Structure 1
Amino acid sequence: MKAVILAGGEGSRLRPLTLGRPKPMTPLLGKPVLGHILDLLRRHGVKDIAVTLRYLPGAVTDFFGDGADYGVKLTYFVEDTPLGTAGGVKKCMDFLGDEDFLVISGDAVCDLDLTELCALHQSRRWAASLALCRREEPLEYGLVRVDGEGRVLGFVEKPGWSQVDTELVNTGVYVLTRRAMDLVPEDTEYDFGKDLFPQLLAKGEPLYGWESEGYWQDMGDCKAYLDSAADALTGKVKLDLGRGLLTTPPAGVELRPPCWVGERVWLAPGSIVGPCAVLGDGSTVETGAVVERSVLLGASVGEGAEVTGAILCKGAAVHRRAMVGPGAVLGEGAAVGAEAIVAPGVKLWPGRRVPEGGKATSSLVTAGSAGALKFSDGGALRGTVGEELTPEAMLALGAILGERGQVGLGWAGGDGAGMLGRAAGCGVAAAGGRALASDALCPSAGAWVGRYYQLPVTLFIQQDSDAAELRLFGPWGLPLPRGERRKIEGALLRGEGSRVPAGRVGTIDTVTGARSGYAQEAARLSRLSSIPLRPTRVQVPKGGAANEALAAALTAMGCRVSRGEGRGQPTLSADLGGFRLSAWDEEGRAVAPERLLVLLTLIEFENGGGRAALPAWAPAAADTVAAAFHGAVLRLGRDGEEAEELWRSLPWLWDAVFAGCRICARLGLTGERLADLDQACPRFATARGEVPLRSGRGRVMGAVLNSDPAARSQGEGVRAQVGEGWVYLVPMSRRSALRVVAEAADAETAAELCDFYRRKVRELDQEN
């Protein structure tokens, strides 16, 4: 069998380790990572190999030549433009012919039993066979859902926790048939996971998922690189370590095995090395120095210095009594002065220096310095003003966003938010973009400005005391998709961001009227008819910018709005920055958020909508409403782009100001009370609970799907119908636990159903 190695990656998340070299050429235990893949293929009898290249192809071809030194025969295919994983393999089809062939990544570390995979594929004759492995933290990978026989059911690329219902991830190791590759277009960017495999499933072609017990590690970042090196030394992955495994220490050296030492390495008496230390060719460790769980690629560690859990590239130097913390990376020629400190996770780009006695607490890169800001699963960046959220970090974020051309900006809550917003605006201008700073006073209003002007991205900063929350919205006023947020995270981590010459510097412009414009449009678009509305009395609590916007919008509709709380008229409140509506009826009874969503769905169908798009967690009562009108409810995550497009067109389902106007438009049209409208919805109650887990979230979610015939994946979470009731299970994002939401006709039944599934989840957790 022939093979194709995908070796065109740049390795941006591995910088500065990969600066100046393609990712497959990253040195690992005496040879490039690609060399270990060639060793693996040769051990399994695969010797006729195609290699796809794109970034710095000469670095690969010059080193490996025709492959004779590795006992294989190499044929190279260079992509002039990016073709994706499947598109790159398509270029190799004349080489591969009509027989089945193997595909493997050139920048992963693995010892999978390729012989077993190929034999299973040949016995089943399916269109493609995929090697899978388990990950308890699978967010950085592509999930693969399979049934009990290994047949692939679907894929999720780079999921959020709400989408995790399995631990099986795609390794990028496949056996493919010619008929599968015939679907790949010529000279077109096309991927296996995103394009080809879903297309094969849609055509009814069977795909097989083989769960491997071997080792596989995507060398996606510096932590994974260090883990791979340590795992090779401890025997978790079987690699050819050559003669570098050191068992007998030089005189006077304290060796804590396992350690790997290359050629021309100097270990001074009194130095301490290991465990899990890799000292590449030409490295130096002076007297009293400590090097533990670190990789030195021809670097030097001075007298009494300490290096723990770090990577030191060629020519990097850590001087006398300096300290380098876990996760730190020193690029080629970087230097840490005597008695200086490099904090954990800090990266020094090539040639950068920490002065004697100094302390590096943030990365020093060519494009500026920025901390490792991370989005929450809900899409927000949170931190303390002046600590995680600094002017420097906002400059870097603005420079990245500015590459999109126009950027909306808004802030509220304090001078700190204004400072951060203006710093982001300067970054946008520095990248040649145009920042539009609006007078929006809450996140939902800021999102509306982005929607009104169709801006590629809008940033809103909400300050609360010393803390602040940053939200990014796309052109539809909805949170920026997770894939886009990941790109921004990576660019911040790598210190990327454009800078243009003085003649091309962008502008920071002010946009006014957002407050009145937001309210006026919510009032206009939420009306159900051109018929004049009865003057509806409604209360809006005092305080909060979102409530100011809600009161203004309801007034624009002709409602008689009073500020405060009390009985006798409905009370509406815009919470969570204007994205959640809370309500109390005329008797002061709270109308739960899930009931409000069903109520808004009822209004939509009664108004002749015919279809509604709802979140995965939305109550099944909404489906009952749709059935009564012979309509349909689409679920986000389950029903793809069709649901996303419909969701974008119904802002009253996700914007509290629009939702409040929509409800009052109905009350003003019919004259009924909110309590009566609530009674018109199907009766249901919900109960909620959490189950802490000992095993992985994806493993338990997969066990639920496999053990419960009624359970169905929703794209985000799992639903199961139990009699007349429903249960929704979804992983928690911030801790290892599952949330259980039960729905039934009454509160007692819902509570019983919730308790039953909580016990079931605990049992599955113990079994797995």
Structure 2
Amino acid sequence: MKALVLAGGLGTRLRPLTHTFAKQLVPVANRPVLFYGLEAIASAGVREVGLVVGAGAREIRAAVGDGSAFGLRVAYLPQETPLGLAHAVLIAREWLGDDDFVMYLGDNFIQDGIDQMVDDFRAGEADAQVLLARVPDPTAFGVAEVGADGRVTALEEKPERPRSDLALVGAYVFTPAVHDAVRAIRPSARGELEITDALGLLVGTGRVVRATRLTGYWKDTGSAVGMLEVNRTVLDTSRARTEGEVDDSSELVGQVVVERGARVLNSRIVGPAVIGARSVISDSHIGPYASIAEGCQVRHSEIEDSIVLTGARLEGVRRVESSLIGREVMVTSARRRPVAHQLILGDHSQVHV
């Protein structure tokens, strides 16, 4: 069995961060979200991974390498334009050959992994296995109807009137039967080849598609809200660890990670929180659910429930929360009177002042 991991999307919901940064590499708890998916694949016993990459290919290659750090062998499959999940299967046809394969969306976080879905597939005789979760608003997802025997009987992409609350989570297992299906479907109204349509064709032609129910936590991290929610979830499972320097006038409360080379000076950090390598926190308050990446500086500032990327600086900022702060960003206080906001913002920015 192989795995096909999709990391070619444009990340439009995370702009402007993703104008210059692959969305699958945005970190949660200081680790790229893509890494959690690769670890889930390795845990399920799959070793060969085809990573579908687009505009962020260079950075993804640099981060993942040959996959050996995850116990995997990674091949890179270029996708010039993301034209749907089923399109990724089309371009990977030669690499996949006639093997069964897992398909995993690289910006999804599945806390309990995919072991159960893969085990269910291996134990049965299905042509495809899908992972389903109950959601409060099925209109935003691909939706499946499932019989009492666990067999999928119908599927629909983002239905206006859902007949089920079971949404397709971003992980699937397929036999080579899916290749005929993806070649037979046509682009949807949004111009994409939908994997939901390919699954529906399998069901409609008598192929067996079975479901595994997900009971644990799952989130699509394609938006800022989703990314911050996953960051909180991962930090909740962290354990306190201090490998950097914490001076006597500082206080660490709860699950705080201070990575090697980081310095905490005259500051208070309330966990769960993580301070990345070579970062300096001085005269500041870091609140719960803050992930400060490597090489950052936080001085005379307050921040919580936020993700701060590599090399960012916060100085003299009274309070920052529920924020995503990109690489090498500088956030400082306005010292002039009368008080005013001075902003330099990229396309598609969102600011709350």
Question: Could you say if the C-alpha distance between residues 117 and 7 of structure 1 is closer, same or farther in structure 2, counting changes exceeding 3 Å?
Answer: same
- State the match for 2:180 in structure 1: 182
Q: Note the 1:122-137 alignment, pairs <5 A.
A: 122-137=122-137
Deviation at 1:113, TM superposition (A): 4.7
Q: More deviation in 225-234 or 179-188? A: 179-188
Q: Deviations over 1:658-701 (max 9, x none)?
A: xxxxxxxxxxxxxxxxxxxxxxxxxxxxxxxxxxxxxxxxxxxx
What secondary structure is seen at the aligned counterpart in 2 of 1:136?
Answer: coil
The answer on whether the counterparts of 1:336 and 1:356 sit within 8 Å (CA) in structure 2 is no
Deviation at 1:159, TM superposition (A): 4.9
Q: Note the 1:149-228 alignment, pairs <5 A.
A: 149-159=149-159, 163-185=161-183, 190-193=193-196, 195-228=197-230
Q: Deviations over 1:608-637 (max 9, x none)?
A: xxxxxxxxxxxxxxxxxxxxxxxxxxxxxx
Say which of 289, 297, 301 aligns to 1:300. Answer: 297
Q: Note the 1:537-556 alignment, pairs <5 A.
A: none
Query: With structure 1 as the length reference, what TM-score do the two structures score?
Result: 0.41
Distance (whole Å) between structure 2 residues aligned to residue 169 and residue 109 of structure 1: 15
Q: Note the 1:21-420 alignment, pairs <5 A.
A: 21-159=21-159, 163-185=161-183, 190-193=193-196, 195-235=197-237, 245-246=240-241, 250=246, 251-269=248-266, 271-297=267-293, 298-303=295-300, 305-324=301-320, 326-338=321-333, 357-359=339-341, 365-367=345-347
Question: Could you say if the C-alpha distance between residues 54 and 321 of structure 1 is closer, same or farther in structure 2, counting changes exceeding 3 Å?
Answer: closer
Question: Could you say if the C-alpha distance between residues 95 and 245 of structure 1 is closer, same or farther in structure 2, counting changes exceeding 3 Å?
Answer: farther
Q: Is it true that 1:10 corresponds to 2:10 in the alignment?
A: yes
What secondary structure is seen at the aligned counterpart in 1 of 2:183?
Answer: coil
Distance (whole Å) between structure 1 residues aligned to residue 337 and residue 309 of structure 2: 19
Distance (whole Å) between structure 1 residues aligned to residue 334 and residue 22 of structure 2: 34
The answer on whether the counterparts of 2:55 and 2:80 sit within 8 Å (CA) in structure 1 is no
Distance (whole Å) between structure 1 residues aligned to residue 103 and residue 87 of structure 2: 13
Distance (whole Å) between structure 2 residues aligned to residue 141 and residue 289 of structure 1: 39
Unaligned runs of 5+ in 2: none
Distance (whole Å) between structure 2 residues aligned to residue 318 and residue 24 of structure 1: 25
The answer on whether the counterparts of 1:54 and 1:82 sit within 8 Å (CA) in structure 2 is yes
Question: Could you say if the C-alpha distance between residues 116 and 331 of structure 1 is closer, same or farther in structure 2, counting changes exceeding 3 Å?
Answer: closer
Distance (whole Å) between structure 2 residues aligned to residue 315 and residue 295 of structure 1: 13
Deviation at 1:138, TM superposition (A): 4.5
Distance (whole Å) between structure 2 residues aligned to residue 19 and residue 357 of structure 1: 31
Question: Could you say if the C-alpha distance between residues 45 and 294 of structure 1 is closer, same or farther in structure 2, counting changes exceeding 3 Å?
Answer: same
Distance (whole Å) between structure 1 residues aligned to residue 34 and residue 65 of structure 2: 13
Deviation at 1:63, TM superposition (A): 2.9
Distance (whole Å) between structure 1 residues aligned to residue 183 and residue 348 of structure 2: 41
The answer on whether the counterparts of 1:22 and 1:59 sit within 8 Å (CA) in structure 2 is yes
The answer on whether the counterparts of 1:113 and 1:214 sit within 8 Å (CA) in structure 2 is no
The answer on whether the counterparts of 1:30 and 1:262 sit within 8 Å (CA) in structure 2 is no
Deviation at 1:175, TM superposition (A): 0.8
What secondary structure is seen at the aligned counterpart in 2 of 1:183?
Answer: helix
The answer on whether the counterparts of 1:322 and 1:336 sit within 8 Å (CA) in structure 2 is no
What secondary structure is seen at the aligned counterpart in 2 of 1:292?
Answer: coil
The answer on whether the counterparts of 1:266 and 1:282 sit within 8 Å (CA) in structure 2 is yes
Distance (whole Å) between structure 2 residues aligned to residue 41 and residue 368 of structure 1: 34
Q: Which has the higher strand share?
A: 2
Q: Note the 1:355-754 alignment, pairs <5 A.
A: 357-359=339-341, 365-367=345-347
Deviation at 1:165, TM superposition (A): 4.9
Distance (whole Å) between structure 1 residues aligned to residue 30 and residue 350 of structure 2: 33
Deviation at 1:137, TM superposition (A): 4.5
Distance (whole Å) between structure 2 residues aligned to residue 245 and residue 11 of structure 1: 32
Distance (whole Å) between structure 2 residues aligned to residue 256 and residue 156 of structure 1: 48
- The alignment covers a number of residue pairs equal to 344
Q: Counterpart of 2:254 in structure 1: which amino acid?
A: P
Distance (whole Å) between structure 1 residues aligned to residue 233 and residue 348 of structure 2: 34
Percent identical pairs in the alignment equals: 26
